[in-house]
Amino acid sequence: MRSIISITDLSREEIESLINSALERKKLKPSKFFQNKVLASLFYESSTRTRESTERAAERLGLRVMGFSGIEGTSVQKGEPLADTLRMYHAFGAHILALRHPLEGAARYAADILDIPVINCGDGSNSHPTQTLLDLMTITEKLGSIDNLRIAFVGDLKYGRTVHSLVTGLRMFKNITIWLVAPDSLKMPEHFIDGMAVHHSEHLQDVIPNVDILYMTRIQRERFPQGPEGEFEFERVSKLYHLTPAHLTTAVGVMHPLPRYKHRIEISLDVDKLPNAWYLEQAHNGLFMREALLSRILSGSLPAQQIEKPSAGTWKDLPVIDGEKQSQRLVYRLDNGTLIDHIHTGKGKNVLSVLHVDARATFVYASNIKSKRYGGKDIVGFPDKELTEQELSKVALVEPDATINIIRDKKVHRKGKVVLPKVIEKLVECQNPRCVTHPSQHEFAPQKFIVVSHDPLILKCHYCEIPVTREQIKLADL
């Protein structure tokens, strides 16, 4: 069983094979192969192309389709949590779910709580992997290959999920040149282009001679901040990019996920009849790509991906040569318990705070002790208490270099450092207010972070995929 939540849930080989299958299907009659299967198509946000093409693709394969298009008339309007709606559709017989939702991470959450495959048809500003698949199919169809592509993304690169997914997908291909054309307020969030060599420009006409494809986008008005400030900014930025036949002096292909916005049209309708206009064909390709994807998932020919299971941190031992002597050298001599050494000066209180130690607890705390290695260090000790693995993981989150000494009968029994587990559950709170886990959204999705890198520490919210550095970590109140 395979869910497609992010484009990174597929390998380059799988993407290429899906493109071949979709291009084949474009020439074939539909097969009606999956007559006993049911698709739940739940679109919490407006959609024409993604929803219709997903549902028609399902019908071409013989599936029955149930669901809703917009929340009007459903119990979502009565305030039903996402999890309840999802479980109901599962109970009513869905074998596969297509979900579009305004919250980032909603589709990943759905995949976590249901044991049927989930296709992300857009989660807030985060991602839209099936759009990327049909985009890559169109590029292959028009240019013969994706490697060596030169592409400019134009417009709303901040809130546009289609460009986020496509840029991410293009990382799997070779020698890609990317131009980003956007005003300052709509720049692409750094984490999507981290480590990539991209070019920036604010002017459409400057990039056209340098690229094979112009990927135009709609300004996502609905995701701007509410109120006059958002209104004012929208007024300003929505006038910036307006492509006309006069711009198209080269063979550059024009793509757009659509819809375009008629009040400030970003591609003039006169462009439609030019050979440069690929966007109508691009939208049509969505039908065959979604058919290919549904068929691969339902036939089980996409092997299940490895899911990282939450685990405790691992312990990295440091040598205990003579436990008794080592114990005597420690600033505090405990008979039994845990002594945490080599905490950066002044940070001992963070350790106490992550462990929820209050003034009533028994602990020892020394600050700014001279240390050869650090200049100054803090030390925290807990007499008669050996910290649990969960507690040690918390310490590693705030002070990864600290040395943990477990003392038994006045001897250092064990000494070492804690290496964070790959998946961290509950400890860290996602600060993105549009994340499905954010308490203000009342979806009760658990907090879950993946450790992307240990040094420097970078975590990524498992749901909305936004990274945080050690300085940005907000520990959850447990």
Name the residues that contact ligand NCD, by CB under 6 A. Answer: 49-50, 122, 128, 131, 161-162, 218, 257-258
- Which one of 100, 161, 394, 448 is the catalytic residue? 100
From the CB of 451, what's the least distance to ligand NCD, in Å? 30
From the CB of 161, what's the least distance to ligand NCD, in Å? 5
In whole angstroms, give the CA distance from residue 365 to residue 357: 11
Q: Which is nearer to ligand NCD, 61 or 216 (CB)?
A: 216
3-state secondary structure of 295: helix
418: amino acid identity, one letter: V
Place of tokens 């690229």: 211
Instruction: Confirm whether 373 is a catalytic residue.
Output: no
Burial class (CB in 10 A: 0-12, 13-18, 19+), 239: exposed
- Which one of 29, 78, 263, 273 is the catalytic residue? 78
Instruction: Confirm whether 128 is a catalytic residue.
Output: yes
At 177, give phi and psi (nearest 5°).
Answer: -105, 125
Could you tell me where the beta strands, DSSP code E, fall in 322-410?
337-344, 364-371, 375-383, 403-408
Instruction: Confirm whether 100 is a catalytic residue.
Output: yes
Q: Which is nearer to ligand NCD, 122 or 337 (CB)?
A: 122
What are the beta bridge partners of residue 253? 213
Q: Which is nearer to ligand NCD, 220 or 327 (CB)?
A: 220
Structure tokens at 316: 């990295």
Whether residue 397 contacts residue 420, with contact meaning beta carbons closer than 8 Å, is answered with yes
In whole angstroms, give the CA distance from residue 393 to residue 361: 20
Instruction: Confirm whether 177 is a catalytic residue.
Output: no
Q: Which is nearer to ligand NCD, 10 or 255 (CB)?
A: 255
From the CB of 383, what's the least distance to ligand NCD, in Å? 57
In whole angstroms, give the CA distance from residue 260 to residue 273: 16
- Which one of 2, 60, 108, 128 is the catalytic residue? 128
Q: Which is nearer to ligand NCD, 258 or 292 (CB)?
A: 258
Instruction: Confirm whether 78 is a catalytic residue.
Output: yes
Structure tokens at 380: 């925290």
What are the beta bridge partners of residue 469? 458
Q: Which is nearer to ligand NCD, 159 or 382 (CB)?
A: 159
- Which one of 12, 26, 37, 49 is the catalytic residue? 49
From the CB of 131, what's the least distance to ligand NCD, in Å? 5
From the CB of 285, what's the least distance to ligand NCD, in Å? 11
From the CB of 402, what's the least distance to ligand NCD, in Å? 45
In whole angstroms, give the CA distance from residue 473 to residue 451: 12
How many other C-beta atoms are found inside a 10 Å radius of the C-beta of residue 384? 11
229: amino acid identity, one letter: E
Point out the residues that are catalytic: 49-50, 78, 100, 128
